[in-house]
């Protein structure tokens, strides 16, 4: 199968190459749990390799958790940071899926509803990112300030 070039709003004017690999019986529910996990892993791998924002969220999330461990945050606060990071990355995966489906339907043609779908999906990621930054800031900023004041005084 040859690759199909699809233009995506997230990549400005640069075409995104998406391989067209066929999966036999992809319309059926998998009877094998391990195979289901492999498909999910393939989606994570695809997003990590092709989506710059997914990689950025992974790096920032890892940094936030590392800082939480460094500052010895209580487990509940670490869990809260982890949940918000998980929400952002989940919405980034959904954004990628929505963009792929929209591109599949409209191909290279412009359609106002396709723009709305892609923009709203991206907006959901943005909203969750802002909330995640707020949560991490509320939990980590006091520790930063303590460290800063201790180093000055």
Residues designated as active site = 92
- In DSSP notation, 95-118 reads HHHHHHHHHHHHTTS--HHHHHHH
Close Cβ partners of 26 (under 8 Å, ≥ 6 residues apart): none
By the 8 A CB rule, do 81 and 136 touch?
yes
Burial bucket for residue 11 (CB in 10 Å: 0-12, 13-18, 19+): middle
Neighbours of 102 (CB within 10 A): 21
């Amino acid at each position: 199968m040859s690759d199909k070039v699809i233009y995506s709003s997230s990549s400005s004017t640069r075409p995104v190459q998406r391989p067209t690999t066929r999966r036999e019986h992809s319309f059926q529910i998998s009877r094998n749990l391990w195979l289901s996990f492999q498909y999910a892993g393939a989606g994570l791998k695809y997003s990590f390799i092709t989506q710059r924002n997914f990689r950025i969220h992974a790096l920032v999330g890892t940094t936030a958790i590392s800082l939480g461990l460094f500052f010895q945050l209580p487990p509940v606060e670490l869990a809260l940071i982890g949940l918000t990071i998980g929400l952002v990355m989940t919405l980034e995966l959904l954004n990628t899926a929505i963009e792929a489906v929209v591109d599949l339907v409209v191909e290279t043609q412009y359609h106002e509803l396709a723009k709305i779908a892609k923009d709203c999906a991206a907006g959901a990621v943005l909203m969750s990112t802002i909330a995640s930054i707020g949560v991490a800031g509320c939990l980590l900023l006091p520790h930063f300030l303590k460290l800063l004041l201790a180093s000055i005084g």
